[in-house]
Structures are given as C-alpha cells and as structure tokens.
Amino acid sequence: GLGAWEAPGRGARMLAAYRLLRTALGLGEASRAPYNLLATRDWMMLVPRSRAEHLGVNVNALGFAGSLLVRTPEQFDAVAALGPLELLRQVAGVAP
C-alpha cells in the first residue's frame, strides 16, 4: 500500500502515484483527457474515458467499482441486455 494516511509525506506519495498512473496511460501533466479515478488507502486506479455515457446511462468512477446507477427501468433494461462489462468497455479508453 501507500502507507498510513497520517504518515509524513503521504500526500506527496499519493501525488507521485497519481502522476505515475497518468504517465503510464499517456495522460501527461498537460492533458485534459477525461478519466475516472478511484482511490483507497492502499491503491489507486485511473481509467481513461472516451465518453461519459452509453445508451443514455452515465458512467462515473463508481461504475468501475461495481456500482452502475440507472434512473429509469428502460436504462436498467438496456444495461441488462448489453451487460455491465460491455457498458464499461464502451465508455473506457482514450477519446479519439
């Protein structure tokens, strides 16, 4: 993990890990490319995003943590028919 939250230098280590993820994904410091970020005390995940929604279903970082939020029965049916992983595939990736 990245160490205890209270540990000296914790913020600097988290910032370094964040920058490393951006660099590894080709999202350098100056890039304004959209992404979803999930972080815990032990790990961090950055998912490039090609778009914010698919089939009218908005997907944010919680979607990549397993919580897809729908507003209508029609959206629920669309996600069920497509499959949650395919929905994530449709929004993930670097925008053209």
Residue 2 lies in a domain: no
Residue 4 lies in a domain: no
The structural domain count of the chain equals 1
| Structure letter (DSSP) for residue 22 | H
Task: Give percent above pLDDT 70 in the chain.
Answer: 91
Parent domain of 71: 10-91
| Structure letter (DSSP) for residue 92 | B
Average pLDDT value for residue range 23-32? 83
Residues 80-89 have pLDDT tens digits of 999 999 999 9
- pTM to 2 decimal places: 0.80
Q: pLDDT grade, residue 68 (50/70/90)?
A: very high
Residue 36 lies in a domain: yes
Q: pLDDT grade, residue 66 (50/70/90)?
A: very high
Cα(94)–Cα(29) distance, integer angstroms:
15
